[in-house]
Amino acid sequence: MTARVLEVIQAGVVPYGDALAWQRDLAQARIERRIPHDLLLLLEHPPVVTLGRNAHDHNVLRPAGVELFEVERGGDVTFHGPGQLVGYPIIDLTGYKQDLHWYLRTLEQALIGALETLGIPAERNPGYTGVWTQGRKIASIGIHVKQWVTWHGFALNVTTDLAHFDRIVPCGIPGVEMTSIEREGGPKGHGRGKGEGSLWNQTIAAVIQGFQRTFGVDPILNDGPNDALRLRRSGVWAHA
């Protein structure tokens, strides 16, 4: 059996509003079969707070100084910012399983596998969506699905400044403690940069491997931010 193709696009730092429009466009193109295979956008956002469909305003404690977006994903409030790896899978679930619970659990498992590769024991927390390690939350997940095509996705804290989470009640869970790969003693990279051997690049490699194992996909890597943004601006999908 031929493995499903997953094109992985490393897009660098992308403002949240641009990334939101981009993934909506790609999801619609996938629904209309103008894109022949699934995609995984991997990127980073400038500081931003997003509120999902189930968000409560009182969970935003200190909004000053960051943009706020109300979006269609599930879940409550979350923070995105530097040092956090954000992944937006654009996946047609008709090629897998038309079951949102299966998709959420599979996303969690892909991240659990990635963290195990990085030497961090990770697990689910019954009753909650996301990934945890030793009682602390390290990855958040919120999705949207239209005609069985997904967008939105996950946020994995790599070297994130965790003080930013003091702005909100993360995911609407009172008392939750957020953590990061760096804080949990993940593999030592070459500083906080994003060059070869860095913790950031090791995390990207582990996440791609986690998707490969868990979803049974054949990843095709596109790591050119300029090509990715050119595709977004042109509105035309083509291989770089």
Catalytic residues: 171
Judge contact between 116 and 138, C-beta under 8 A.
Answer: no
Decide: helix, strand or coil at residue 217: strand
| CB neighbours of residue 234 within 10 Å | 9
Decide: helix, strand or coil at residue 32: coil
> What's the sign of the alpha-carbon dihedral 130, 45, 20, 223?
negative
Judge contact between 159 and 83, C-beta under 8 A.
Answer: yes
H-run or E-run covering 49? strand 48-51
Could you give the CA distance from residue 181 to residue 131 in angstroms, rounded to a whole number?
12
Could you give the CA distance from residue 168 to residue 64 in angstroms, rounded to a whole number?
11
> What angle do helix axes 100-117 and 199-215 make, rounded to 10 degrees?
140
